Structure 1
């Protein structure tokens, strides 16, 4: 009887430890995906790298689009998914960022892994009433793979010449003063010599 009680007590401790580990994992995940109020938080600078070679993705009608189509502008390339709560929470601020930054110098490009047509992403865009963001699609997820996205949202800032300037994982307050200043500073540092 004593061995049975010890076995039950051991299992209870194992389950308690497992539940504790799961809770700690969820807490860490929440911290990683939390919004960063500061424009510098979460950015990893990538200055000095050659232009990015990325495959084509699609616009909402299914026509192919390439990053090279945005050359001459600093691109804020945001990879997201319609099932990702942090992605959805940052979409309105990305839309406001697109309105805030000069369109002649910046492009905010939000790309999701979804097919063209009546997809969850299209319905999400329609429901949110986003005014400035265009819906771009990466049905096969190749773009996320090419930029090394470990999860969503992942954002890559690409310079006017196509070279990566910085990357950020997790949601952000994209239209804050600090973030706009950070993006403008990155664009200035990534500007090719004339």
Structure 2
């Protein structure tokens, strides 16, 4: 079973190809990197909390309170949806454009609307927290309108302590932009 929310970065020779993702079609959205250990760990802890909620819902229903069990089941479903969305967050590319998936929103930009994708040195947020450190960021400049928020940083949940993965992902994004613009 292909897990299309986990991208294969085993093709380190160049941009993502069909050999790197044999299950992906020509117009499917692909993530040019794997989710980092911080993101996967947070999702695992969240799913552990959901498991405790499901067990407590079973105990509540056996105790004879179906409304309390239903509320706990709804909470467990929300926690599971949060964990899955947490794993899906990131940058996705296809022949159609660039997609930035956030926790509550998704923003898609067609390649013809992109003027440049580049890696810059700038202060970046550490794991998305208010604290800023000096690092690298991938930025997208639009042909018209305001620039997109920083796409990727080397200090976010996917690339913290993985500089090679950040460099590879930045190169893949720049290659996709150059090829499809």
Q: Shorter-chain TM-score category?
A: 0.3 to 0.5
State the TM-score, normalized to the length of structure 2. 0.34
- Point out which structure has higher relative CO (alpha carbons under 8 A, 6+ apart): 1
The structure with the larger Rg is 1
